[in-house]
Structure 1
Amino acid sequence: MSEQMFLVLVALADEPRHGYGVVQRVQELSEGRVRLRVGTLYGVLDRLVADGWAEHDREEIHQGRLRRYYRLTGAGSTALADQTRRLAANVDTASKVLRARGQWPQVGELRA
């Protein structure tokens, strides 16, 4: 699962969002590290829908433009939880290796 796909799933986990709302939420969640382009976003959303991890929630017209909202499905929640566990296990493994080598960063250096 790509970082973009993971973050889109996280962005949809708390409430349905339209495309621009997903872009904004991913930027917030990643603290600005990930900025989704429109083509990337809709490619990810199409894949999530095809995989059954997200679905269309509703459509509405806002200032003359169509907004399509997406929501996470039960399968999407399961996939997000599974990936979160995998990532946490990978972080734990890397932390142990770095600690053993004396290269584990001090508190506060992890976000650098």
Structure 2
Amino acid sequence: MQAPTFFILTALAAQPLHGYGIVQSVARLSDGEVNLRPGTLYGALDRLDQQGLIAVDREESVDGRLRRYYRLSDSGAAALADQADRLRRHAAAAGRQLALRPGTAGGAA
């Protein structure tokens, strides 16, 4: 799972959001490392919807423009949980290897 997808699903984990809300949430959650452009965002949202990982929650008209809200599906929540677990395992493996590095508290001198 690519970082933008991971953060889009993470942004939708707590509540449904519209496109701009997703962009803001992803920027905040990634500490500014992932900045989604509209074309990238809406392409990803279409793909995630087709994969069943998200769904349209509702649509509202705001100032004459349609605002679509997306929510995380049960399948999306499971995929996000699996990816979060995988990332934890990978980070732990990196930590163990770094601890073996010479000159560190856990490694040989």
Task: State how 1:2-81 maps to structure 2 within 5 Å.
Answer: 2-81=2-81
Residue 68 (structure 1) shift:
0.6
Q: Distance in 2 between matches of 1:32 and 1:7?
A: 11
Q: Deviations over 1:69-107 (max 9, x none)?
A: 100000000000000000000000011111111477xxx
Backbone CA RMSD of aligned residues: 1.3
Residue 63 (structure 1) shift:
1.6
Task: State how 1:93-104 maps to structure 2 within 5 Å.
Answer: 93-102=93-102
Q: Distance in 2 between matches of 1:103 and 1:41?
A: 44
SS in 2 for 1:71: strand
Radius of gyration: which is bigger? 2
SS in 2 for 1:61: strand
Q: Distance in 1 between matches of 2:42 and 2:102?
A: 43
TM-score (norm 2): 0.91
Question: What letter corresponds to residue 89 of structure 2 in structure 1?
Answer: A
Which residue pairs with 1:88 in the alignment?
Answer: 88
Which residue pairs with 2:107 in the alignment?
Answer: none
Question: What letter corresponds to residue 3 of structure 1 in structure 2?
Answer: A
Q: Distance in 1 between matches of 2:68 and 2:77?
A: 20
TM-score (norm 1): 0.88
Question: What letter corresponds to residue 13 of structure 1 in structure 2?
Answer: A
Identity %: 52
Q: Distance in 1 between matches of 2:48 and 2:103?
A: 38
Unaligned runs of 5+ in 2: 105-109
Against the structure 1 CA distance between its residues 100 and 68, is the aligned structure 2 distance closer, same or farther, given a 3 Å change threshold? Answer: same
Q: Distance in 2 between matches of 1:32 and 1:85?
A: 23
